[in-house]
A = this chain, B = another copy of it.
């Protein structure tokens, strides 16, 4: 079952500090077929439904050149998730695991990350496969998949450091 923000047997919540160390701007919105958390996939799949990502003003021009990348990394804000659990029981069976050993949406900073395939761009919208989030999820960032990207900026000394 999806968590409706209850705390389950064995789970542990902490007194979380106020989330005021950094501020986010929502740069767009993700549209998916899933309007209920009871339907949303646990993980995206590359042969899953095509979803639409709309980019808000004034960020549209930042899409320039994105069509060159077959796969993108998408960061989004899991706006319905509680943020104060350090131990979670995903199977609701009393067994627990630390939040950082899970990809659960419940985390101190509920940022979801997915790798998606870019199907097409239509002006300020991108059509992609591979998402796993609720319809209406706020968008935080888009980047080329790290495996496809070579920095344009000249290398720096750290790029050659091994140990």
A residues with CB within 8 A of B: 1-2, 12, 14-27, 33-34, 38-43, 45, 47-50, 58-66, 68-69, 72-73, 75, 77, 79, 83, 85-87, 90-91, 96-104, 107-109, 111, 113, 115, 132, 138, 140-144, 146, 149, 151-159, 161-163
Contact = CB atoms under 8 A, between A and B. Distances in A.
A102 to B, nearest CB: 7
A108 B25 contact: yes
Given A23-B24, A87-B62, A108-B25, A144 B101 contact: yes
User: How many copies of this chain does the complex contain?
Assistant: 2
A50 B161 CA distance: 11
B115 A146 contact: yes
Q: Is the interface of A mostly helix, strand, loop or mixed?
A: loop
